[in-house]
Structure 1
Amino acid sequence: MLGPVFNREASVVPKRAATYLTRGIYLMTLFLLLCTGYLVLDGSRSLVANSDTAKFGGWMFRLLAPLQLVILSALAAVGSASNVAQEKDRRTLLLMLMTRLSGFEIVAGKATATLLSPLTLLVISLPLFLTLPLMGGVSPNQVFAVYLVTLVSVLVSAAMGTVVALWREKTFQSIALTVLALLLLVAGGEIVAAMGSPYSRWATAISAPRAMVAATNSHAGIASLMQTGAGWFVIFGSGLAATVIAIGVKQVRVWNPSREVRLKAPEPETSEEFQRDAAVEAAVRVGENKPFEGPASWKVRQPRHVWDNPILWREVRTWAYGRKILLIRAVFVLIFALIASAVWYQVQSGVAMEPSGRIGRAFPAVTIPVAALGVISLVLVNALAVTSITGERDGLALDLLLVTDLRPREFIFGKLLGVMYAAKELILLPLALIVYLGFAGVMTMENMRYAILAGVGLYVFVTMLGVHSGLNYVSGRTATLASLGTVFFLCVGIAICMTIMVSFRGAFQLQLAPFLVMILGGGAALFAALGWRNPSSAIFTASFALPLITFYAITQFLLQTDHLYVAAALLVGYGFTTAAMMIPALSEFDVSLESDRGDGVSGATKGGPAVVGAATPEPTV
């Protein structure tokens, strides 16, 4: 029914070992979070009374449900956008459009093929969520209501990512516009909610997080979804996904091939035979016996001066990421303006340093919007960095660069500086917000300087992480998911573990053991992502030390002690990890290349030119 595009993906996915590994890791992570919360709470007070067990079940349900919403929605959005963008980079989408496949089979097939992974993860986690009603405090109807909201959010994310990627030409444009469009929906819900309680249902209908909160409410269930507003989100989200898919079906052959895919101008013909034939044809058509002057030559642009580092010159002086990057900057500026307005209101009303949320006395209210803007900025910069390499690889330009006389430092530093220049608005605006908080008196000038230094260190880290993932993963989609997954774990995963510890307050020695299980498990996953191809002692040390350093930095921030320790820990930890990824790239220029391109290059030596005819299974240059 959905066509051969979906049928092929449905037949190939079960044959991949990574499919089952991903499912096992996802389910094990949720189970370990549940066990960690149980051990922490049981260590602080005994779960003898039924009321304590019910409170624990309800609290863990309200923690795991939003976490699953964020993970699966992000996986659907980024996965669908990168999947279609990879087809474009490899020019296989044009071949698909030349077949007799209909627009519905192409668009709906790509969208539903991307949904196989997140929907499978959603199904396998259902038994785990159904164990929570056994503890009390949660009803089965709430579980199914939460799953319905999550399902609709995943559908909207996949539809948005697929259609945006079909519209835009560059991979970064597809991922960034998809993420920003989904964030604008969330921001729109917050704006509507700020208009007053009469508009709260409309805000819930627009915003997936608000719909999730409504679905996890103790009085919510399938029958009361419409009353809480979550039902309106299901209706609105389903209609939005269908509308977006319909637009993609109608416009897929209008958008593709895009105007950026231009044919090269042919060389002017100067042969005597061509001139004679053209002169005769012109005389016959016009009826005049005029001499033929020959074809007009194509206009050639004046050559431009190229810098000593051509990689940096291309990143800075050309539209390497497409002209639509201006649209991405404009949308990010809009989101920044909304968050900055919220921060300004908190500062002016005097609630900036007041407790906020369930983890109240730990986090000031102003921390939430500033941290959200920082995470969005880090994700976009990392996506730009990884796609700067995968775009070259999928376009077969990376092979050509590797056989030139470019030195490793020219390539690596050219990409690093070029990405940071292209993302200058994404970097400078969050730092400007920190400067405002310093001059507004929310934080001291000394702490403001520490925060800026730590922020710069994080931006350098995520940029190098993207370049490292792009160089070490052959598949562009795998590189993107691995790189963004690492950023998500370091920014969100550890914060969730800290939320468990702060919420279930008790003896620290009882909380530390289960928390270390999550930290060490995250370190192992981090090592698998960073050093799966070329493991080293430095990568191993950084992978297991980085979660602990992040945990220490968050703890120091929660204790509201001298922020010098926070900045120093972040700079040392993330600086060491950046060096662990950068030094091998500079010294060996180790790049993973595909072995099945059929270009005659099946192997290479480290630090040297490609070797033709070598028989290594994973060639490197």
Structure 2
Amino acid sequence: MFSNPIFIREALTSPRQIRHYLIRSGYVAAIFILIFTAGQTILGTQQIQTTTIGEFARLGNLIFQMIAFLQLLLVLFFTLLFSAGSIAQEKDRGTLILLLMTELKDRELVSGKTQSSLLVVYVLLAASIPVFVFLYLLGGIELSQILWMELLCLMTVFATGSWAGLVAFWREKTFQTLAISVLGMVVFLGVVELIVSLLGAHSAVRPFIAGLDPFRALYEILNPLSLNTGLQPVSISAWPSLISLFVLGFALKAYTVLRLRVWNPSRSVYKATPKEETEEVVTKEQARTIWTNPVIWREIMTKAYGRKIYVIKLAYFLLAGFTLWAAVTSDAVAEGTLYLGVIPPQGLAFAGIAWLSLVLANTQAVTSITSEKDSKTLELLLVTDISAREFVLGKLGGIFYNSKELILTPILILVYLISQGVFSTEGFLCALIGFSALMIFSVVLGLHMGLTYDNSRSAIGGSLGTMFFLFIGIGIFMILLVQARSSFALQLQSFLVFIVVGSAALHSALTHRNPSRALAISAWLLPFLTFYAITSFLLGGTLGVLITILFAYGLPVLAMYIPAVSEFDVALGKTTFDKG
């Protein structure tokens, strides 16, 4: 890998960018802010002199478990995003064909593109090691746990990057690449858990099959006593998982190398050979009628997002059905378990499916713009008579139409849950309206990011990263609030630090190119209002939560949508005014 010219180029050029240092330092700073917030939540205003060794150990263990799980989640997300996005961008720009024409071997091309795109992920893993060693000083964890956790994350990067690279070299459209990568990974983890549940506890292959799920392996690393019930010394090992993930990643990469020149160049690159002119009269087929808004006609009536979009929708339906079935038939339903004290298992399944729908809709929105930019077709649209309003509304209409399954499926699940008595009528209406508001926000956010960023990777990363960190932050907040429920007023200061940092990051993402007062206000208000909505929800509120969500996410929607349709030239940094 270190002799690969593609990887060497990325390793030499990436550190020169200021973004490289900002990502690395920002990640470490975010971890320390999380440590501070969790420490204040657990220890409160207790003086350090009166804190016992056991309390420090409990704090270190809890923070280590939280950050380890968060890091594994980040590794999966960013590996899929960077690996698939980098290769998809090469295809959209037509530069992958140039790489195929060089003297690079197939394995060098596949390994170089895959590993070079993951350089940032490797740097983040290396930067996190000193932080975990710092937690080791608090007690409650072992150095072997840190070592196995880092190795597990590293091998997860290898396997996930191989999968994302396979999909990216296989599919033509960026949206298909990202959607299949995410859905395929989630479906794979579900299948692994299903197979593990069917295998016997004493099966010889069970540890290796279970090792394909990195979250299960991480749980065993973080909770070694769960596997050592006897009096023998506790041992921590993740060898089965490391071996399984390595074999999986190697197999995926080998298959990609074998199929590289079969999949690429795609058939859309080839042009039909012109036939010799004859005197025969050729009857032309009747042209299709184009609607008043040609943009929405193209989005709906043509295969703008690829030829096999139904594969993505089928995988989504299967995943949604399996998730709901697993939640309904789980033992937690019979036992009446409420997660975080308020969420039933069926509600948690709905939240997961809804989050996946929001991410996929956001992906479709941002790639609808970046694909136009990479293929140079946006330049052609700018010289036509299409107005800014027609373009934006056409894109929005096409996105909502193509995402109709992503919108209707969570709604149908809500209808099923209210018929089973899981939700009240008020809760159903609040969840329905709230989900609709978040769906509009995710789509408009993707459109805004696509118009704002010139670089496709930055646009996709900024859009999906905003969605990811926003909802991951909500989950962390809910966990910490439950931990600090008895002394919430005393811990408000620590939560405010986390909120202010999140507001600053959101402000930087939304106002990257065209800062405005409305975007700044909405970016700074959104985390604070979301925090209020979370606390109200945990206290059993419904209507107040809905009103807060509508205002918190409706304001940025207006702040992003109005400039897009009224200041289209400013958004793109170009001019579409008629000079003649």
Q: TM-score with structure 1 length normalisation?
A: 0.87
Name 1:565's counterpart in structure 2: 544
Structure 2 contact 514–570 (Cα < 8 Å) conserved: no
Residue type of the alignment partner of 1:406? I
Question: 1:504 Cα shift?
Answer: 3.7
Q: Deviations over 1:165-196 (max 9, x none)?
A: 00000000111111111111221233234447
- Correspondence list, 1:409-488, <5 A: 409-488=389-468
Give the Cα separation in 1 of the matches to 2:17 and 2:538: 43
Q: Does 1:580 align with 2:550?
A: no
8 A contact 2:327–2:333 mirrored in 1: no
- Alignment partner, residue 516 of structure 1: 496
1-structure distance, mates of 2:27, 2:152: 19
Report the Cα distance in structure 2 between the residues aligned to 1:191 and 1:476, rounded to whole angstroms.
37
The aligned counterpart of 1:239 is 247
Q: CA deviation at 1:301?
A: 3.9
CA contact (8 A) 2:136 2:143 kept: yes
Asked whether the 8 Å contact 2:148–2:237 carries over to 1, the reply is: no
Which deviations, in whole Å up to 9, do the C-alpha atoms of 1:228-287 show, x marking residues without a partner?
784222111111111111111111111001123341553x665xxxxxxxxxxxxxxxxx
CA contact (8 A) 2:411 2:432 kept: yes
For residue 10 of structure 1, what is the aligned residue in structure 2?
11
Q: In the aligned structure 2, how far is the partner of 1:610 from the partner of 1:194?
A: 68
| Structure 2 portions without partners, runs of 5+ | none
Aligned twin of 2:74: 71
1:136-535 equivalent positions in 2, closer than 5 A: 136-195=139-198, 198=201, 201=207, 204-219=210-225, 230-263=238-271, 266=274, 294=278, 300-346=284-330, 349-351=333-335, 353-356=336-339, 359=340, 361-535=341-515
Is the CA contact (8 Å cut-off) linking 2:145 and 2:236 kept in structure 1?
A: no
Residues 197-246 of structure 1: CA deviation (Å, up to 9, x unaligned):
6176356312111111111114499xx99987842221111111111111
Partner of residue 36, structure 1: 37
Which one has the largest radius of gyration? Answer: 1
Number of the residue aligned with 1:614:
none
Do 1:133 and 1:140's aligned partners in 2 also have CA atoms closer than 8 Å?
Answer: yes
Using the TM superposition, name which of 75-84 and 186-195 deviates more. 186-195
The equivalent of 1:598 in structure 2 is none
Q: What is the identity, as a one-letter code, of the residue corresponding to 1:213?
A: Y
2:19 & 2:172 partners in 1: Cα distance? 28
- Distance verdict in 2 for CA 1:111–1:591, change over 3 Å: farther
C-alpha deviation, 1:414, in angstroms: 0.9
| Counterpart pick for 1:51 among 50, 54, 65 | 54
**Partner letter of residue 337 of structure 2?**
E
2:404 & 2:101 partners in 1: Cα distance? Answer: 39
CA 1:514–1:299: 2 relative to 1, 3 Å: farther
One-letter amino acid matched to 1:84: I
The sequence identity of aligned pairs, in percent, is 38
Separation in structure 2 between the aligned mates of residue 401 and residue 588 of structure 1, nearest angstrom: 16
Point out the more displaced range, 566-575 or 304-313.
566-575
Q: Is the 8 A contact 2:42 2:483 kept in 1?
A: no
Classify 1:170/1:298 alpha carbon distance in 2 versus 1 (closer, same or farther; 3 Å): farther
1:368 deviates by: 2.5
Q: CA deviation at 1:132?
A: 1.4
Higher alpha-carbon deviation: 387-396 or 416-425: 416-425
Mapped contact 2:110–2:253 kept (Cα < 8 A): yes
2:577 is matched with 608
SS in 2 for 1:366: helix
TM superposition shift of 1:330? 0.9
- RMSD, aligned α-carbons: 2.4
Q: 1:470 to 1:236 in 2, by over 3 A?
A: same
Distance 1:225 1:61, change over 3 A: farther
Whole-angstrom distance in 2 between the partners of 1:346 and 1:238 = 32
- Identify the residue that residue 542 of structure 1 maps to in structure 2: 522
Q: Does 1:95 find its partner at 2:101?
A: no
Whether contact under 8 Å (1:469, 1:480) holds in the other structure is: yes
2:385 is matched by which residue type in structure 1?
A: D
* Other-structure match for 1:289: none
Does the CA-based 8 Å contact 2:324-2:346 persist in structure 1? no
Aligned to 1:619: none
Once residues 112 and 180 of structure 2 are traced to their aligned partners in structure 1, the CA distance between those partners, rounded to angstroms, is 21
How far the C-alpha of 1:44 sits from its partner, in A, is 5.7
- Could you tell me how far apart the structure 2 residues matched to 1:35 and 1:56 are? 11
Aligned counterparts of 1:364 and 1:114: Cα–Cα separation in 2: 39
Count of aligned pairs between the two proteins: 570
- Distance in 2 of aligned mates of 1:296 and 1:102: 48
Structure 1 pair 214–264 and aligned structure 2 pair: CA distance change class (3 A): same
Q: Given the superposition, is the C-alpha separation of residues 265 and 448 from structure 1 closer, same or farther in structure 2, using an over 3 Å criterion?
A: farther
State the alpha-carbon separation in 1 of the partners of residues 331 and 550 from structure 2: 28
Aligned to 1:278: none
How far apart are 1:298 and its partner, in Å? 7.1
Give, as a single letter, the amino acid of the residue that structure 2 aligns with 1:434: L
Alpha-carbon offset, residue 443 of structure 1: 0.7
CA distance in 2, matches of 1:297, 1:339: 58
Distance 1:609 1:30, change over 3 A: farther
CA deviations on 1:298-319 (whole Å, 9 max, x unpaired) are 7754210111111111111111
Q: Which residue of 1 aligns with 2:111?
A: 108
The Cα of 1:100 is off from its aligned counterpart by 1.4
Provide TM-score, normalisation by structure 2: 0.93
Q: Is the 8 A contact 1:494 1:547 kept in 2?
A: no
Deviation at residue 45 of structure 1 after TM alignment: 4.7
Q: 1:369 to 1:166 in 2, by over 3 A?
A: same
The runs of 5 or more residues in structure 1 that have no matched partner are 271-293, 594-602, 612-621
CA 1:511–1:367: 2 relative to 1, 3 Å: farther
| Range with bigger deviation, 463-472 or 152-161 | 152-161
**Distance 1:252-1:515 versus aligned 2 partners, 3 A rule:** same
